[in-house]
A and B are shown apart, each in its own frame.
Chain A
Amino acid sequence: MILRYPLGLLALLAVPVIILLYLLKQKHEEYIIPSLYLWKNALNDIEANSPWQKLKRNILMLLQIFAIILLALIISEPIIRNAGSKEEPVLLVIDCSLSMQSADIKPTRFDAAVADALKLVDSLSPGTEITVIASASKPYIPIHKAVSSDNAIMEIKSLKASDTAEDIEGTVKLVQSLIRDNPEIRVCWFSDGNNPLDNIEYYSYNRNGNNYAVTLLSYRKNNDGTKTTALSRISNFSVQDAELDVSLYTDGNFYDAQRIKLGAGKTGNIYWSDLPGSANMLELSIDTDDVLAKDNKAGVMIQSDEARKVLLATEKNIFLEKLLSLIPYLDIYRTDIEDMDEFKGYDLYIFDGKLPEKLPEDGHSILFKPSPNEYFSVSGISEYSSIRAADHPIYSNLKQDISFSTIKTDIYNLPEWAAPIMVNDEGTAAFEGYMGRRRIMVFGFDLHDTNLPVQPFFPVIMTRAVQELIPAGSDKVSSVFAGEPIGLSVDPKAKEVYVINPDGYSELVAPPFPVASFEGTTKIGAYSYEQHLEEGIKKQQFFVNAPTEKEISLSNSIPSGLSVDAEASEDGKAEGVGRSPVPGGLSLKVVLIWMLLAILIIEWWVYSNGIAV
């Protein structure tokens, strides 16, 4: 048996106080009577009739002392530990991802998991080291090796279920590293997916309640931009077939609704054609109730057709000209450096082989084999080398080997503000980064000196390079999944950049410049994005949608070892189905409270029946 709050025993200090009170006796109010004669005899009579009279005052006192002892124990909360409650350090992993907000376990899976985690902490011996991992898009450790269960309880209570997907791999790595530190650590994992590790206590919270989700919402404009077609994908993650009503909203107004029949675990597409080309925002909503409402909606911002002005300063580069002409939203202006007095008014400047004395201030730049300049330095020249891709977003999702040959390329001393794009064995051949508020992308070779233009990935990586600097549309980002960073294309003239989340909370993103990608996409819904320019405030929006494919489809798989009661899951009444029992110590608190009550009743009985005076 252990005491959860040993300080509660301080209540025993009341025992000497009671004894003292009995010794001092109570001071009574005076009451004048004709004679004490009868009262004295009555008092003597009571004493004479009770052979244990000497003890009778003590009986009340003993009862009161016993009551105080019980009270002290109640405050101290004694717990009889069960077999599972060892004194080894405990690691609690609590899934805080979106799927844990499902209400198939009342009130939610997350609340049930937190309640069980608290119960488990309650049952631990005092002094047990407690570590907690909150597992969401970025697993973190809110409390590490806490000896005080109070602190752990406080931290666990402060956890909130997020709208993001769980980074299960990151969490597993974190857990494994903690296990490596202390192989004796007892891992208790509270989640709704499948047990990711062996030799851990896995508590599952999943009744596979009916859940439907919008897994995709995208659009395509026709050639003249007058009409838009929306494509939506709806998934039924439940174990029953479903017929769902799906509504589409354009710019916040209801546009159309369709009904779709989906088998259990199936996905279906709904097309919405001939939407007005003027629509800027599409929102989709599944109107059928399910256990998780947040994934029933999705939104996307339609990128405008506003053309981006690009100045291509080159003597002749057919590859670049052809490539840029393939990007639909670009207005290409070709010039020669010598022909230009001032570079101003373009969104992107591409300097091929030449460089003005001063780089333009109002736009980003791409430089091909630039002449020596004040901005960065060349460390050497590499000839007949193979250039390969560095780790950079422009290569994302490209699975083939990115490499090409070059006759000659400059090798650069990588500036502090830059990240490499292409490297060879001798160093960095291409890099990019923010120089102040301008973003510059530098390639150390002339395209004509390489076989890059004939590589199949050339148009892809060059298009992405351009999109990195000037994203499609008028700097609009469309939508991301919750928890994923979003790259914000910031106008070089912007003084301040704010992102306002769906709750109305405004976050200053910049300064400092350059703007790193915005990572606060933790809430599902429409975000505002404000750039404060000299000429005014430029407002845009983007959507953060539920990470359905990554999160919901994973979490709604049936955990091993659990039976699924589909009917019970529908109304959530069948407690215990889909919820693993959490071992805890047996608290004696309730028993002690009943005992205290019994003592108080006995004391009252003793008093009222005159067994004691």
Chain B
Amino acid sequence: MSQLFDSTFIQKIQQLSINARFTLDSNSAGNRKSRSKGSSVEFSDFREYTPGDDFRRVDWNAYGRFEKLFIKLFMEEREAPVTIFVDVSKSMDWGEPNKSIASRRLAAALAYISLANFDKVSVICINDTIQQMCRDMRGKNSFHRVINMLENIQYSGESDIKRAIEIYQINSGRGITVIVSDFFTEGSFNEMIKLLAYKKQAVYICHILSPQEERPSISESVKLVDSETGKTADITVTPALLNAYSRELEKFKNQIKQTCIKWGAYCFSFTSETAFEEMVKEVAEH
């Protein structure tokens, strides 16, 4: 067991998985059937009948008592395809604590919870293309594959998440897609979300930045070097520049949030110093 995913980590995610409600939302009820028919139907609630509803689900007993049509609602246990994209571009291997650790732990935890929930899980390491992936895993026994892959992944290259998603080709119908990244990415974030929405995915955006990105500690004239592209920029850090940077950061994060709201995606913003269980709780129990 490595330091990244030690026994404490495993214990914690096992605990987290009990309370997790990391599922497709209720609006999708009836559109996807569980493969374990007959035994997996659990009564949930009533609602009034509206035209178009399956009249086979009308509760006639209730009609007899109230002379109104009610539909019985059921919590369907089903196999949701969960796709977790982990950004392994060079920019993610930075910061103190390192963003790569936080992002991999979060991805692993979500994968475990999904596997524990009998979902079909795919974990894909991407930069501007697909680096490595564990596809269509089922059951907790598959979790070690995720661990092995995430532990040994090399961070390199530039980030282009949209391109990587296009390459992956999500064809599983409705499902959950989680993206863990700093989103310093080429290509339009909006187009990426739009693509996933088109693919009928419930999108979970996990935006991870390091504390040094949130509050830069540069205090002199330096030549900034982009870790991914190697491009440089000479700057003399002044309060004005730092203010402008803070404004840009807020703008950047807001843009991501606004885009998520626009397309019905969930957006979570973390720093790499946030404990992974907090991140997981926030994502899985939102």
Interface residues of A (CB under 8 A from B): 25-43, 45-46, 49, 607-613
Contact B224 A609 (CB under 8 A): no
Contact B221 A33 (CB under 8 A): no
Identify A43's interface contact among B220, B225, B231, B241, CB under 8 A: B241
Chain B residues near A31 (CB-CB < 8 A): 218, 222-225
Determine if B226 is an interface residue (Cβ-Cβ < 8 Å).
Answer: yes
- Chain A facing B: main interface SS: mixed
- Chain B facing A: main interface SS: mixed
Contact B239 A46 (CB under 8 A): no
Given contacts A30-B223, A45-B247, list 6 more A-B pairs with CB under 8 A.
A29-B220, A31-B218, A33-B224, A34-B92, A42-B241, A46-B244
Q: Which of the listed residues A35, A40, A43, A611 has the most CB atoms from chain B within 10 Å of its own CB?
A: A35
How far, in whole Å, are A45 and B224 apart by their CA atoms in the complex?
Answer: 17
Q: Among residues 179 to 227 in chain B, which have CB atoms less than 8 Å away from a CB atom of chain A?
A: 182, 184, 210, 213, 218, 220-227
Also in contact, A36 and B224, with CB within 8 A (given A45-B244, A45-B247, A610-B243): yes
Instruction: Look across to chain A and name the residue whose beta carbon is closest to the beta carbon of B237.
Output: A613
Contact B222 A43 (CB under 8 A): no
Also in contact, A35 and B225, with CB within 8 A (given A25-B234, A43-B241, A610-B238): no
Number of interface residues of B (CB under 8 A): 39
Identify B244's interface contact among A29, A36, A43, CB under 8 A: A43
Also in contact, A38 and B248, with CB within 8 A (given A43-B241, A608-B239, A613-B238): yes
Contact A39 B91 (CB under 8 A): no
Chain B residues near A36 (CB-CB < 8 A): 224, 226, 229, 231-233
Q: List 7 A-B contacts (CB under 8 A).
A: A28-B221, A31-B224, A33-B224, A34-B228, A36-B231, A43-B241, A46-B244
Chain B residues near A28 (CB-CB < 8 A): 221-223, 234-235
Determine if B4 is an interface residue (Cβ-Cβ < 8 Å).
Answer: no
Instruction: Look across to chain A and name the residue whose beta carbon is closest to the beta carbon of B249.
Output: A38
Instruction: Look across to chain B and name the residue whose beta carbon is closest to the beta carbon of A36.
Output: B226
Contact A613 B235 (CB under 8 A): yes
Chain A residues near B118 (CB-CB < 8 A): none
Determine if B254 is an interface residue (Cβ-Cβ < 8 Å).
Answer: no
Chain B residues near A30 (CB-CB < 8 A): 222-223, 225, 232
How far, in whole Å, are A28 and B235 apart by their CA atoms in the complex?
Answer: 8
Chain B residues near A611 (CB-CB < 8 A): 240
Determine if B236 is an interface residue (Cβ-Cβ < 8 Å).
Answer: yes
Determine if B95 is an interface residue (Cβ-Cβ < 8 Å).
Answer: yes
Contact B233 A39 (CB under 8 A): yes
Chain B residues near A610 (CB-CB < 8 A): 238-241, 243
Chain B residues near A609 (CB-CB < 8 A): 238-240
Also in contact, A34 and B233, with CB within 8 A (given A39-B224, A42-B248, A609-B239): no
Contact B226 A33 (CB under 8 A): yes
Contact B227 A35 (CB under 8 A): yes
Determine if B49 is an interface residue (Cβ-Cβ < 8 Å).
Answer: no
Instruction: Look across to chain A and name the residue whose beta carbon is closest to the beta carbon of B212.
Output: A33
Instruction: Look across to chain A and name the residue whose beta carbon is closest to the beta carbon of B210.
Output: A34
Also in contact, A41 and B240, with CB within 8 A (given A28-B223, A35-B226, A36-B224): no
What are the nearest 6 A-B pairs in CB distance?
A: A610-B240, A34-B91, A35-B184, A42-B244, A28-B223, A610-B238
Chain A residues near B5 (CB-CB < 8 A): none
Instruction: Look across to chain B and name the residue whose beta carbon is closest to the beta carbon of A48.
Output: B244
Contact B245 A39 (CB under 8 A): yes
Chain A residues near B224 (CB-CB < 8 A): 31, 33, 36, 39
Least distance between A605 CB and chain B CB atoms (Å): 12
How far, in whole Å, are A46 and B240 apart by their CA atoms in the complex?
Answer: 8
Determine if B63 is an interface residue (Cβ-Cβ < 8 Å).
Answer: no
Determine if B252 is an interface residue (Cβ-Cβ < 8 Å).
Answer: yes
Also in contact, A46 and B233, with CB within 8 A (given A28-B223, A32-B225, A33-B94): no
Instruction: Look across to chain B and name the residue whose beta carbon is closest to the beta carbon of A26.
Output: B221
Identify A29's interface contact among B213, B223, B238, B249, CB under 8 A: B223
How far, in whole Å, are A37 and B89 apart by their CA atoms in the complex?
Answer: 15
Contact B226 A46 (CB under 8 A): no
Contact A607 B229 (CB under 8 A): no
Chain A residues near B229 (CB-CB < 8 A): 36
Chain B residues near A613 (CB-CB < 8 A): 235-236, 238, 240-241
Contact B240 A34 (CB under 8 A): no
Least distance between B66 CB and chain A CB atoms (Å): 59
Least distance between B231 CB and chain A CB atoms (Å): 6
Least distance between A33 CB and chain B CB atoms (Å): 5
Contact A33 B225 (CB under 8 A): yes
How far, in whole Å, are A427 and B257 apart by their CA atoms in the complex?
Answer: 130
How far, in whole Å, are A610 and B238 apart by their CA atoms in the complex?
Answer: 6
Q: Among residues 152 to 190 in chain B, which have CB atoms less than 8 Å away from a CB atom of chain A?
A: 182, 184
Chain B residues near A43 (CB-CB < 8 A): 233, 235, 241, 244
How far, in whole Å, are A358 and B223 apart by their CA atoms in the complex?
Answer: 105
Contact A35 B91 (CB under 8 A): yes
Least distance between B107 CB and chain A CB atoms (Å): 18
Q: Which of the listed residues A39, A46, A611 has the most CB atoms from chain B within 10 Å of its own CB?
A: A39
How far, in whole Å, are A609 and B91 apart by their CA atoms in the complex?
Answer: 31
How far, in whole Å, are A607 and B239 apart by their CA atoms in the complex?
Answer: 9
Chain B residues near A34 (CB-CB < 8 A): 90-92, 94-95, 99, 182, 184, 210, 213, 226-228
Instruction: Look across to chain A and name the residue whose beta carbon is closest to the beta carbon of B221.
Output: A28
Chain B residues near A42 (CB-CB < 8 A): 241, 244-245, 247-248
Identify A38's interface contact among B222, B225, B232, B252, CB under 8 A: B252
How far, in whole Å, are A368 and B247 apart by their CA atoms in the complex?
Answer: 120
How far, in whole Å, are A40 and B210 apart by their CA atoms in the complex?
Answer: 18
Least distance between A540 CB and chain B CB atoms (Å): 79
Chain A residues near B182 (CB-CB < 8 A): 34-35
How far, in whole Å, are A25 and B233 apart by their CA atoms in the complex?
Answer: 12
Least distance between A63 CB and chain B CB atoms (Å): 15
Chain B residues near A46 (CB-CB < 8 A): 240-241, 244
How far, in whole Å, are A34 and B248 apart by their CA atoms in the complex?
Answer: 15
How far, in whole Å, are A613 and B239 apart by their CA atoms in the complex?
Answer: 10
Least distance between A263 CB and chain B CB atoms (Å): 78
How far, in whole Å, are A123 and B182 apart by their CA atoms in the complex?
Answer: 71
How far, in whole Å, are A32 and B233 apart by their CA atoms in the complex?
Answer: 11
Identify A33's interface contact among B227, B236, B243, CB under 8 A: B227
Chain B residues near A612 (CB-CB < 8 A): 238
How far, in whole Å, are A39 and B244 apart by their CA atoms in the complex?
Answer: 9
How far, in whole Å, are A49 and B248 apart by their CA atoms in the complex?
Answer: 13
Least distance between A387 CB and chain B CB atoms (Å): 101
Instruction: Look across to chain B and name the residue whose beta carbon is closest to the beta carbon of A33.
Output: B224
Least distance between A449 CB and chain B CB atoms (Å): 110
Contact A37 B233 (CB under 8 A): no
Q: Which of the listed residues B231, B243, B245 has the most CB atoms from chain A within 10 Å of its own CB?
A: B245
How far, in whole Å, are A610 and B236 apart by their CA atoms in the complex?
Answer: 10
Least distance between B218 CB and chain A CB atoms (Å): 6
Least distance between B230 CB and chain A CB atoms (Å): 10
How far, in whole Å, are A32 and B224 apart by their CA atoms in the complex?
Answer: 6
How far, in whole Å, are A123 and B61 apart by their CA atoms in the complex?
Answer: 118
How far, in whole Å, are A354 and B226 apart by their CA atoms in the complex?
Answer: 122
Least distance between B155 CB and chain A CB atoms (Å): 11
Instruction: Look across to chain A and name the residue whose beta carbon is closest to the beta carbon of B93.
Output: A34
